[in-house]
Structure 1
Amino acid sequence: MSAPSYFGHASVDHAVAGMGAATVSTLTLQPLDLVKTRLQVDDTSTSRGSKMAGRSLRTCLSITQQDGLRGFYRGMSPNLAGNVASWGLYFFWYNSIKQYKARETGQTVLSPTQHLVAAAEAGALTQLCTNPLWVVKTRMFTTSSHSRQAYRGLWHGLTSIYRHEGIRGLYKGLVPGLIGVSHGALQFMAYEEMKKWQLFNRSPGNDKSLGPMEYMVMAAGSKIFAAVTTYPYQVLRTRLQSQATTVVYHGVWDAIRKIYHNESLLGFYKGLGPNIVRVLPGTCITFVVYESLSQYFRDHAA
């Protein structure tokens, strides 16, 4: 017998909660996301004297000079669509896979390895569905609205890429994107284990539901762990998807070779500072809103 749910199925409840969380997070943190992406496609050599804060400031000034303050919200439509679709699909498949594994094994609590595998499978399915949205987002983020290559919006970007580059164009960066599934898998494994540990160590008789601050701390900790571990794949994916780089990359291994040769290992971590600044509040917002909505759906399930 299936558990009570608000929308008729528990996985759908989680999907809707994920979509709501993604909407709030994306609308709040769009400017930081755009600056991070601009820094990732900066393939100029990294000098020892250059500072991340200085490069970030120059990027902000460049965006303002080109498009004004509105420039920080360029690419909002594909960014919002991509995040809402990704989080909705991810939470749907992640919870569906967890439920399947629990039924097959008869376990009520899954192991870290099972959480890791479930998150990786959900991430791969989500990436296959949403890669075209990320290609459009990356190109809109890395070009001025006055550029000849500029897309007017999500649909114009999708149709333009398909018309000029075919299906392959819509799936540029898919390989590093699939490699990046490890990011979500590591994050969710860490998050689930931290949540399980926190619930286990609560005093007897205490309310089993965690508070917003606890969710924030666990979300931030798991995100930092995953971000530092897997950040290079994000740079690779952005370079392969973008049209704003000065170097032409012919596939993943060619990109790895050229980035290392031209920029050293530091090239694989460009934009990490703004990314950490962006993902921490973004992750905290996403998980607090997600857990709050999930709790509301559980409390009002039919």
Structure 2
Amino acid sequence: MAATSSSSAASEESQGTNSSATLFLPNSTHNQFFVWREFLWGALAGGFGEGMMHPIDTVKTRIQSQAILTQSQKQKSILQMVKAVWGADGLRGFYRGVAPGVTGSLVTGATYFGVIESTKKWMEETHPNLGGHWAHFIAGDTLGSFIYVPCEVIKQRMQVQGTRNYWTSVVMKDAALDSTMYAYYSGMFQAGCSIWKDQGPKGLYAGYWSTLVRDVPFAGLMVTCYERIAGGVSAYLTTPLDVIKTRLQVQGPIVRYNGWMDAFRRIWLIEGAKGFFRGSIPRVIWYVPASALTFMAVEFLRDQFNERRPNTHKVKEVTTLILDKNKPPLQQS
């Protein structure tokens, strides 16, 4: 406290005037933003959402990859694909590739809620004109792609393979690339080592730029849609990018699509506009509950484990003291 001189105080008191003094107290009303918790809650929630909805993602992946795995031009519908997976592999077929899928979702979940929330907070404070939708859009997912893309490549190849019996007796018999297709993957780590051995880092990062082209706007749309509008629209609109990404990652050592622009051109020439929206319905069906489960899990973890400061600990900052015989001893101004 910076006090006035005793003579001035006495003079002001005798004249009935006010005397003021500035009091500085720590401002503890602000809420601390624990970024590490957002990373942790996002990772757990992302893995939970992926694990719950993985069977639908498997159906989507198989529908999108039919054109490059078999010589048949006849494409299975959603119901036909579900019956095919169940008939060949049973329940195990729907959960093929769940380990790399959950691993990748741990990373993307942490990125969405850790990086996006902290970046959004910083942008809205330092650049208010980029707040709201723009902050969400610009704070899209890019960092997690270094781990997510290899996991996605492994997951999708395991999804289309199904069980060993299905891969060797059904798919390889009708495979358009026949013996040039990759060998059967017994697990996540064996798959990663096999892809690295056969194709090097290029194989593990197949479709990397296509993934970014899809996920940077999709990440912003996901967070924006969570707060504004129904999220299924963004899943449907980004389906063409998802189809290109899936084809590039599933095609294996023999390159059918030389990059995402070549994939775009060939899909358009051979399959038309319909080819870009293969798997759009299961993608929307997967996205809506998966994102809902993810956000619900994050909110639950925040409510249960984030620290809450009792109201009794909150102290307002007092900047000035007013001394007046006709007013209370302490008054904030």
Do both proteins adopt the same fold according to a TM-score greater than 0.5, normalized to the shorter chain? yes
Partner of residue 205, structure 2: 171
Q: Distance in 1 between matches of 2:220 and 2:279?
A: 22
The reply to whether residue 55 of structure 1 matches residue 77 of structure 2 is yes
In the alignment, which residue of structure 1 is the partner of 2:46? 22
Is the 8 Å Cα contact of residues 184 and 226 (structure 1) preserved in structure 2? no
Any conservation in 2 of the 1:4–1:298 contact (CA below 8 Å)?
Answer: no
SS at match of 2:288: helix
2:262 to 227, 234, 254: 254
- Give 4+ residue runs of structure 1 displaced > 4 Å after superposition: 1-5, 44-47, 244-247, 299-302
Corresponding residue for 1:161?
A: 195
Secondary structure of the equivalent of 2:151?
A: helix
TM-score by length of 2: 0.71
2:200 partner SS: helix
Aligned mates of 1:15, 1:137 — CA distance in 2? 23
Given residue 184 of structure 2, which amino acid in structure 1 is its aligned partner? A
State the distance in 1 between where 2:129 and 2:275 align. 44
Contact in 1 for aligned 2:55/2:94 (Cα 8 Å)? yes
Structure 1 counterpart SS, 2:66: coil
Residue 38 (structure 1) aligns with: 62
Shift of 1:69: 2.1
SS at match of 2:142: helix
Partner SS state of residue 257, structure 2: coil
Identity in percent: 29
The answer (yes or no) to whether the contact 1:98–1:115 under 8 Å persists in 2 is yes
Counterpart Cα distance in 2 of 1:244 and 1:63 = 21
**Which residue is 1:141 aligned to?**
159
Counterpart of 1:115 in structure 2 is 136
**Pair 33,301 (structure 1): closer, same or farther in 2 beyond 3 Å:** farther
| Higher RCO (CA < 8 A, seq sep 6+) | 1
Aligned-residue offset at 1:187: 2.4
Q: Which residue matches 1:211?
A: none
SS in 2 for 1:233: helix
Q: Which structure has the greater CA radius of gyration?
A: 2
The 5-angstrom pairing of residues 1-302 of structure 1 reads 10-43=34-67, 55-105=77-127, 107=128, 110-118=131-139, 120=140, 123-146=141-164, 147=167, 149-180=183-214, 181-192=216-227, 194=228, 221=230, 223-243=231-251, 248-300=256-308
Q: Indicate conservation of the 8 Å contact 2:236/2:283, yes or no.
A: no
RMSD of aligned alpha carbons: 2.8
User: Any unmatched runs of 5+ in structure 2?
Assistant: 1-26, 169-182, 311-333
Segment drifting more, 33-42 vs 55-64: 55-64
Q: CA deviation at 1:250?
A: 1.3
Contact conserved, 2:124 with 2:135, CA < 8 A, in 1?
no
Per-residue deviation, 1:165 = 0.7
Q: TM-score, normalised on structure 1?
A: 0.78
The one-letter code matched in structure 2 to 1:24 is F
Q: Is the 8 A contact 1:41 1:245 kept in 2?
A: no
Task: Mark the CA change 1:294 to 1:96 in structure 2 (over 3 Å): closer, same or farther.
Answer: same
Unaligned runs of 5+ in 1: 195-217
Q: Is the 8 A contact 2:62 2:159 kept in 1?
A: yes
